[in-house]
Chain A
Amino acid sequence: GENVEQHPSTLSVQEGDSAVIKCTYSDSASNYFPWYKQELGKRPQLIIDIRSNVGEKKDQRIAVTLNKTAKHFSLHITETQPEDSAVYFCAAKRNNFNKFYFGSGTKLNVKP
């Protein structure tokens, strides 16, 4: 089955700096890669996703890049703000399969 590894487990940045979180996956058949943000005590919420036919996707201050050859994808947050502080999860899934494989999460702390 799929194995998703996520790094780092914790990340502390100064407000205004950029943050990068990386995930690797093992199943070359995975073709959908979402990122979820989970604030303390709240539910995971989808913030951005990418499919394997695209190398990069951007939505305002967040972007995701995918390298299919190396089997890794990354979340980039620019101009970080204190409200970006949360746990971020990556995930991978095969097309038409129901099972999402989650990374272990990255706790991002943005210091004002």
Chain B
Amino acid sequence: DAGITQSPRHKVTETGTPVTLRCHQTENHRYMYWYRQDPGHGLRLIHYSYGVKDTDKGEVSDGYSVSRSKTEDFLLTLESATSSQTSVYFCAISDPFPRTGGRDTEAFFGQGTRLTVV
């Protein structure tokens, strides 16, 4: 399995509080992603990063910010949590142009963080 871990795995927080989720990888992959998964919606991209300090918005970025100060860490922050942000959050990594050559590599996912905002 790819070396990708998310923390925490479960969290319950109150509306209005800030929350930070961490994604850590040991694969040295350039791309990192944050998705949320909700029933009936599949996986939706929140933010992604294509390098240290290089990030961009996905389709559901409102209310979220990210930071990537090191290759291995990608942080997702909910600045002021709302009940609509109750979800399962997945981090993923990939490297579209592997240094070893060859075709696109797959995306590997972390085990997910189950966040409940009450």
Instruction: Tell whether A and B belong to one assembly.
Output: no
Interface of B with A (CB < 8 Å)? Answer: none
